[in-house]
Amino acid sequence: MPVGRPARRRTATLLAAGATVLACLAPTAVAAPAPPPGAGHPDPLPVTGDTVVHDPSAIRLKDGTYVVYSTHGGLEARTSRDGRHWQRSGSAFTALPSWWRAYSSESDPWAPEIVHRQGRYWLYYAVSSFGSNHSAIGLATSPTGLPGTWTDQGKIFETGPADPYNAIDPGIVEGDGRLWMSFGSYWTGIRMVELDGRTGRPVAGATVHHLATRPDAPYAVEAPYIVRRGGHYYLFVSYDRCCAGTDSTYNIRVGRSTSPTGPYTGSDGTPMTRGGGDVLLAGHGKYIGPGGQSVLRDRGRDILVHHYYDGEDGGTPKLGLAPLSWRPDGWPTLAR
Q: Is pLDDT larger for residue 12 or for residue 264?
A: 264
- CA–CA gap between residue 333 and residue 325 (Å, rounded): 5
The arithmetic mean of pLDDT across residues 154-166, rounded, is: 96
* Residue 174 bears catalytic tag: no
Nearest to 41 by CA among 286, 223, 275: 286
- Percentage of residues in the chain having pLDDT higher than 70: 88
pLDDT exceeds cutoff 60 at 12: no
* Domain-wise residue ranges, the chain: 18-334
The arithmetic mean of pLDDT across residues 303-312, rounded, is: 98
Amino acid 32: pLDDT: 40
Q: C-alpha distances in angstroms, 21 versus 16, 64, 296?
A: 7, 16, 15
Amino acid 335: pLDDT: 81
Beta bridge partners of 87: 79
Nearest to 190 by CA among 112, 266, 275: 275
pLDDT exceeds cutoff 90 at 24: no
Q: Which residue of the set 50, 108, 222, 310 is catalytic?
A: 222
Please, which residues have CB within 8 angstroms of residue 319's CB and are 6 or more apart in sequence? 44, 47, 51, 52, 53, 56, 68, 78, 86, 305, 307
Amino acid 130: pLDDT: 85
Q: Which of 11-15, 121-125, 175-179 has the highest mean pLDDT?
A: 121-125
Instruction: Find out whether 68 and 138 touch, Cβ atoms under 8 Å.
Output: no
Amino acid 131: pLDDT: 84
The arithmetic mean of pLDDT across residues 117-131, rounded, is: 94
pLDDT exceeds cutoff 80 at 8: no
Amino acid 39: pLDDT: 57
The arithmetic mean of pLDDT across residues 318-323, rounded, is: 98
Q: Is pLDDT larger for residue 23 or for residue 291?
A: 291
Please, which residues have CB within 8 angstroms of residue 162's CB and are 6 or more apart in sequence? none
Please, which residues have CB within 8 angstroms of residue 252's CB and are 6 or more apart in sequence? 236, 237, 238, 239, 279, 280, 281, 282, 290, 291, 293, 304, 306
* Residue 55 bears catalytic tag: yes
Q: How many CB atoms lie within 10 A of CB 270?
A: 14
pLDDT exceeds cutoff 90 at 23: no
The arithmetic mean of pLDDT across residues 45-62, rounded, is: 97
- Count of H helices and E strands in the chain? 1, 21
The arithmetic mean of pLDDT across residues 199-203, rounded, is: 97
Beta bridge partners of 324: 302, 334
Nearest to 238 by CA among 253, 226, 227: 253
Q: How many CB atoms lie within 10 A of CB 30?
A: 11
267-274's contacts with Cβ under 8 Å and 24+ in sequence apart are 267/329, 267/331, 272/190, 272/211, 272/212, 272/213, 272/235, 272/237, 273/189, 273/210, 273/211, 273/212, 273/213, 274/213, 274/215
**What is this structure's pTM?**
0.89
- CA–CA gap between residue 92 and residue 108 (Å, rounded): 12
Q: Which residue of the set 50, 55, 76, 298 is catalytic?
A: 55
Amino acid 269: pLDDT: 97
Q: Give the 3-state secondary structure of 150-200.
A: CEEEEEEEEECCCCCCCCCCCEEEEECCEEEEEECECCCCEEEEEECCCCC
Average per-residue pLDDT for the chain: 89
pLDDT exceeds cutoff 90 at 295: yes
CATH T-level fold of 18-334:
Tachylectin-2; Chain A (2.115.10)
The arithmetic mean of pLDDT across residues 294-311, rounded, is: 95
- CA–CA gap between residue 261 and residue 143 (Å, rounded): 30
pLDDT exceeds cutoff 60 at 9: no
Nearest to 171 by CA among 4, 12, 2, 6: 12
User: If phi over 0 gives left and psi between -120 and 50 gives alpha, with beta otherwise, what is residue 133?
Assistant: alpha
The arithmetic mean of pLDDT across residues 107-111, rounded, is: 95
Backbone angles phi, psi at 174, to 5 degrees: -105, 135
Beta bridge partners of 80: 66
Amino acid 6: pLDDT: 40
Model pLDDT for residues 246-284, shown as the tens digit of each residue: 999 999 999 999 999 999 999 999 999 999 999 999 999
Instruction: Find out whether 56 and 33 touch, Cβ atoms under 8 Å.
Output: no
pLDDT exceeds cutoff 60 at 22: no
